[in-house]
Amino acid sequence: MRASRAIRFALFLAVLSIAAVVARSLGYPAPFPRVLYRVLEWYLEPGLTVWWCTLGGVFQGFPSDQPGYAVTVLGNVAFWLSTGYVALRVFGVLRSRVMSAKKRR
């Protein structure tokens, strides 16, 4: 059950990353809200960093080919999936410590 939840979360992150890459590559059309633009930029940065370190050049700001888009999406999914895993583990440890402290009282 945990594996299926992780797979669903990874698919959600992949779809969100693909949507962010498509919106970015289209140049954010005029009716695109500015707040959403900033959130997508913030969300996409880890994947762009992975792309820039692997396939991108020094003076390139965004991928312009299919392999670049794929590396950006995969890097983004890997980053946010690992961040979610670490957050769940930290939350679990903190929760268990709080529960054990309550039992001692």
Rounded CA separation 36/19 (Å): 12
Of 47, 58, 54, nearest in space to 24 by CA: 47
- What separation in angstroms does the CA of 28 have from each of 11, 39, 45, 77? 23, 12, 16, 21
Question: What does the pLDDT read at residue 6?
Answer: 82
The number of angstroms, rounded, from the C-alpha of 104 to the middle of its chain's C-alpha atoms is 39
Question: What does the pLDDT read at residue 82?
Answer: 92
Residues 53-86 pLDDT 10s? 888 776 777 888 888 889 999 999 999 999 989 9
How many helical (H) and strand (E) elements, i.e. helices and strands, does the chain have? Answer: 3, 0
Angle at the Cα of 11 (from 75 to 33), degrees rounded to 5?
75
Which has the higher per-residue pLDDT, 102 or 40? 40
- Is 90 exceeded by the pLDDT of residue 23? no
